[in-house]
Amino acid sequence: MRAHPELIACMSCDTVNRRPRLEPGEVAVCAACGGTLLRGHKSVQQLAALALTAAVLYLLANVTPMIGIDLSGRHSDTTLWGSVLAFTDHVTAPMALVVAMAIVVLPGLQIAILCWLSLFTLAGKRAPLFTDLMRAWQSLRPWCMVEVGMLGILVSYVKLKSLFHVDVGVGIWAMAGLAIVLTAVFPGDVQSLWSELEPSTDRDADPAAAAGPLPRSGPG
């Protein structure tokens, strides 16, 4: 079977269109129905800025209190990591591992990889372990559940608020910001790092990159 990377099918009407090359922020629409075909990926500068923002928010979410309560004159608060450790004291101990991986460890790894790849690319260099880390980032993405963790924290906040005086800490705002920033990084944005490298450096590492920039003209 022959592949035609220069063509793209519309998800709305199945019309086959020629795949355009887009600049960051541009949107390609179907010639037949006007549906969205492709969106231009973020520039390396934008990706690096998002990666660094995510790193700062991740650190804040992990070291600053998220929620604090006052009970009988005593104040108690917890960080993101503290909420994970709370699971270890009960029969829910196995859950601690799942929660730690989903909202602390894997998002941290994902952010570190993103910073590593985007900053090296920004400097015009191929990051060490580029191919392996690109695949690792894709594999980690479905398992990072910062937004699910955020939802759990909000439910806890609403429940606790009806019983105690609840303080909202910097950590919860950092967590909310982190969920937004990570959602704003699309797989296509990270995949575009392939095309930012010199063809001679990425062609030997990944067959997908061997195609290089998409050709402007197709058959017919």
Query: Which residue, 9 or 123, has its beta carbon nearer to Zn ion?
Result: 9
CB of 29 to Zn ion, least distance (A): 8
Length in residues, the chain: 220
CA 73 to chain centre: 41
The alpha carbon dihedral of 153, 155, 160, 166 has a sign of: positive
Bridge partners for 39 per DSSP = 27
CB of 219 to Zn ion, least distance (A): 20
Cα–Cα distance between 128 and 131 in angstroms, integer? Answer: 9
- Cβ contact 6:18 at 8 Å: yes
Question: Position of tokens 């095309």?
Answer: 195
Cα–Cα distance between 15 and 59 in angstroms, integer? Answer: 46
Binding site for Zn ion (CB under 5 A): 10, 12-13, 15, 30, 32-33, 35
Query: Which residue, 15 or 195, has its beta carbon nearer to Zn ion?
Result: 15
Query: Which residue, 30 or 190, has its beta carbon nearer to Zn ion?
Result: 30
Cα–Cα distance between 117 and 128 in angstroms, integer? Answer: 9
CB of 33 to Zn ion, least distance (A): 3
Query: Which residue, 30 or 127, has its beta carbon nearer to Zn ion?
Result: 30
CB of 213 to Zn ion, least distance (A): 24
Query: Which residue, 12 or 139, has its beta carbon nearer to Zn ion?
Result: 12
CB of 36 to Zn ion, least distance (A): 9
